[in-house]
Amino acid sequence: MATMQEVAQRAGVSVSTVSYTLSGTRPVSAATRSRILAAMTELGFQPNAFARGLASRRSNVIALIYPAAERGLGGTVAEFVDAAARTARGRGYHLVLWPFGMDQAAQIRDLARQGLADGILLMEVALDDPRVECLQEAGVQYTMIGRTRRPEGRPWVDIDFERTTHDAVAHLAALGHTRIGFINHSRASLDEGYGPTIRAQEGFEQAMRARGLTPLSRHVDESPRAGRVATAAMLAAEPGLTALITMNEMATFGVVAELAQRGLAVPADLSILSIVTSPGVGDMTYPPLTTMHAPGAELGRLGVEKLLSLLDSTRADTSNALIPCVLEPGGSVAAAPAPGARADDGGGRPN
């Protein structure tokens, strides 16, 4: 690997001039610049990141902490990562992912304090998240993706689960639905204080009650199998159900399968609205699902921008961002059927 020294020699200039050419911090004449650039290409020069980081005390790297082991890496996360990486790159930063588990707060703190990253994006923030305290006390710049229970005074961006569930209920209510069920994430996620599960649950119940409707919901494990079981149970409990809001992709596949097996037509007999959905999931079933697409890309972009604004004190700190999911029309939502009009009222199996 060629060093700046060698580039300078070859171009017949001093090291500092090479440095200024690279950073643009001070003017360099066009002639000199082109000699230097030529020398760089000929030598295949790439600046040493450590020397640069040591001298400038900035790494131009932002780290994304994501517990890959616990949560898999779904489509929404992929969208997030991609958008975040692009945004960072556009601003001259590299985005790297640190696959730490939720319980490795101390290791995160130590690594963060080694200076390898200028700032940190913390994903899958739980309501009470020890990692946040660690970063705070480590004196590292960070931005949460998600929110702790009381996020005041800490930088974050998050999905607006309240608004998303409200919008979902409103959309269905406007189509005449009154018996609306909600299939949420697993009880395990609830128990461990997973924000989305809790906030969406509250949002759904509130939205239903605000309309004088009775909220019916279940926490369901993330599998098609669990989705089928839950669907059967909900139909048994509330035979008049005409719409389901789901926030659990794997379970949603099961919902669709179970309804098909029971001879219930989607959306004629029962509407399905899948919320906080990964890209592409809508087209995986027939009819294609009507979804409210999780704003992964938007979140990634805003998260990086917020973090960078923190690093660069000259840039105004944009306020925290709460982004709702947007409705993507599909074929699984329609007006509520007239009472008693359904082919198979009561929910028995067709054969």
Cβ at position 150, least distance to its own copies in Å: 26
Residue 286 touches which of DNA, its own copies, none (CB < 5 to 8 A by kind)? Answer: its own copies
Stretch that binds its own copies, among 13-21, 77-85, 183-191, 194-202 (CB under 8 A): 77-85
314 binds DNA (CB under 7 A): no
Q: Which pair of tokens denotes residue 29?
A: 């004449």
User: Closer CB to DNA, residue 59 or residue 186?
Assistant: 59
Q: Which residue has the tokens 């999931």?
A: 281
Q: Which pair of tokens denotes residue 132?
A: 């946040």
Stretch that binds its own copies, among 12-20, 78-86, 177-185, 310-318 (CB under 8 A): 78-86
User: Closer CB to DNA, residue 12 or residue 280?
Assistant: 12
Spatial separation of the C-alpha atoms in residues 232 and 229, rounded to whole Å = 5
78 binds its own copies (CB under 8 A): yes
Cβ proximity of 230 and 182 under 8 Å: no
Cβ proximity of 250 and 279 under 8 Å: no
Spatial separation of the C-alpha atoms in residues 110 and 100, rounded to whole Å = 12
DSSP code for 250: H
Binding mask 105-124 for its own copies (x = CB under 8 A): -----xx-xxxx--------
Q: Which pair of tokens denotes residue 147?
A: 């929110």
Dihedral over alpha carbons 139, 142, 143, 144 (to 10 degrees): -80
SS3 of residue 95 by DSSP: strand
Cβ proximity of 340 and 239 under 8 Å: no
239 binds DNA (CB under 7 A): no
Stretch that binds DNA, among 21-29, 98-106, 196-204, 255-263 (CB under 7 A): 21-29
Identified binder of its own copies from the candidate list 130, 176, 263, 331, rule CB under 8 A: 263
Contacts (Cβ under 8 Å, ≥6 apart) of 203: 161, 162, 163, 164, 165, 166
Cβ proximity of 121 and 301 under 8 Å: no
User: Closer CB to DNA, residue 4 or residue 234?
Assistant: 4
Identified binder of its own copies from the candidate list 42, 103, 133, 283, rule CB under 8 A: 283
The residues of the shown chain that bind its own copies, judged by CB under 8 A, are 1, 44, 46-51, 53-54, 59, 61, 63, 68-69, 71-75, 77-79, 81-82, 85, 94-99, 110-111, 113-116, 139, 223-226, 228, 250, 253, 256-257, 260-261, 263, 278, 280, 283-286, 350-351
The residues of the shown chain that bind DNA, judged by CB under 7 A, are 3-5, 12-20, 22-23, 25-29, 31-33, 45, 47-48, 51-52, 54-57
